[in-house]
Amino acid sequence: MTWLLKFIPTGWLWPAAFSVMGVLTLWGLGEHWRANINAKETQECKDKATLDMANHTKTALEAATKYRAAEAAWKFQLRSAQDEYNEREKQGAKKLAAFAATASAALLANGKLRDDIAAFARGGGPAVDTAAAASDRAARLGLLLSEALRLEDETLLVAAESAGGAESAGNAVRTLLNSWPKDTP
């Protein structure tokens, strides 16, 4: 570095040194100032990003809370509809059991009537008629009533099955309608 001093005149050494120091100081201050500006802009960007993230998080939490409340309401509605369905099924089973008991009693009564008619047709009728006429009348009456009662028996059985199927289908439809969400968020 001493070779550089040979080119600078002797009276100019101190002013040149101060000039170089001044330029270096100004350059350093400029770099410091520029770094502070960049740091401030970077911090502003970070603050804005943090605020945006907080707003997005808040919005997401509000939406999730609203969804959870709607989901809980729908689950309660579904649970209530399922409970109603189970109760309807119990009531339907009771009605069906009562109907089946009535149908069974009717079947027993029809069987007794059939037996009475058959006994009458075999000759258990009044002695006023001739035996052949009474027997013929009774046989025809027995056949007609027997066929009518057979058809009624089939009708009662089909009605019992239909009532059970209709009650079950009705309960399923009512449950579906009751469990369907009434309003959406």
Identify the CA nearest to 74 among candidates 183, 181, 185. Answer: 181
Q: How far is CA 95 from CA 81, 84, 156, 158, in A?
A: 20, 16, 15, 16
| pTM over the 0.75 mark | no
Over its length of 185 residues, how does the chain's per-residue pLDDT go in tens digits? 566 666 666 666 666 666 777 777 877 777 777 777 777 888 888 889 899 999 999 999 999 999 999 889 888 888 888 888 888 888 877 877 777 777 777 777 777 777 766 666 665 455 556 777 767 777 777 777 777 777 788 778 778 777 777 877 887 787 777 777 776 54
Interatomic CA distance for residues 118 and 110, integer angstroms? 12
**Which residues have a Cβ under 8 Å from the Cβ of 170 and sit 6 or more positions away?**
88, 92
